[in-house]
Chains A and B, each alone.
Chain A
Amino acid sequence: AQKITQTQPGMFVQEKEAVTLDCTYDTSDQSYGLFWYKQPSSGEMIFLIYQGSYDEQNATEGRYSLNFQKARKSANLVISASQLGDSAMYFCAMREGDTDKLIFGTGTRLQVFP
């Protein structure tokens, strides 16, 4: 079974609108971390936001927020007030227990249009 599932291969959003990118995960560990990374066409991976499994509040970083629903095992990324520069691939990732390994989803390509 996939550990990280991103069901949206591509998404479109108009500039200044909000968009939600979906991510569901599968783990039996009680302690885990969830991450979102942005990958522009240049190839670098840019860390956006982190949510720990024991965090009671949803994580926020500027225009990025993570809608964490533990019972549903979902960790959706919300980008508010989209900008043209937000066009990129977005990857959801998970780190389980005490391991160092990040497990990545297949990614969602976001395109922001004027």
Chain B
Amino acid sequence: SAVISQKPSRDICQRGTSLTIQCQVDSQVTMMFWYRQQPGQSLTLIATANQGSEATYESGFVIDKFPISRPNLTFSTLTVSNMSPEDSSIYLCSVEEFLVRRDTQYFGPGTRLTVL
């Protein structure tokens, strides 16, 4: 499967600031997704990152708070804007490769964010 990297791996930020998380894949992939995992919780899909167009957001998540870019088939960014302590979570990107294994999502190592 594709090798997925995320930057930064972890960060501690002040409330009111923004952080951009990068997701890089070593091969072109069809689908890219962003998930959030709040402390002690399960994963929740934030949005699907669409190449060349606006991301598709899930209920409860909005573009102003979580702007997403996907300029090509190997790269995407998620920005967490105007952060509050409630944004402290692990943020994970995932990818799906139709030619490798259809329907299966593979995850990056995650970005552990703490907001003070």
Contacts and interface: CB of A to CB of B under 8 A. Distances in A.
Partners in one complex: yes
A20 B64 CA distance: 43
Contact of A100 (B1, B48, B107, B112): B48
B42 A105 contact: yes
Contacts, number: 53
From B58, B103, B110, name the one whose CB has the most chain A CB atoms within 10 angstroms: B103
Interface string A36-75: 0100001111110010100000000000000000000000
What class of interface size applies to chain A in its complex with B?
20 to 34
Contact of A45 (B1, B43, B45): B43
Interface of B: 1, 31, 33, 37, 41-45, 48, 58, 90, 92, 94, 96, 101, 103-110, 112
Interface of A: 33, 35, 37, 42-47, 50, 52, 91, 93, 95, 100-102, 104-107
Given A45-B43, A91-B42, A106-B42, 12 more contacts: A33-B103, A44-B92, A44-B108, A44-B109, A45-B92, A45-B94, A52-B103, A95-B103, A101-B58, A102-B45, A104-B42, A104-B44
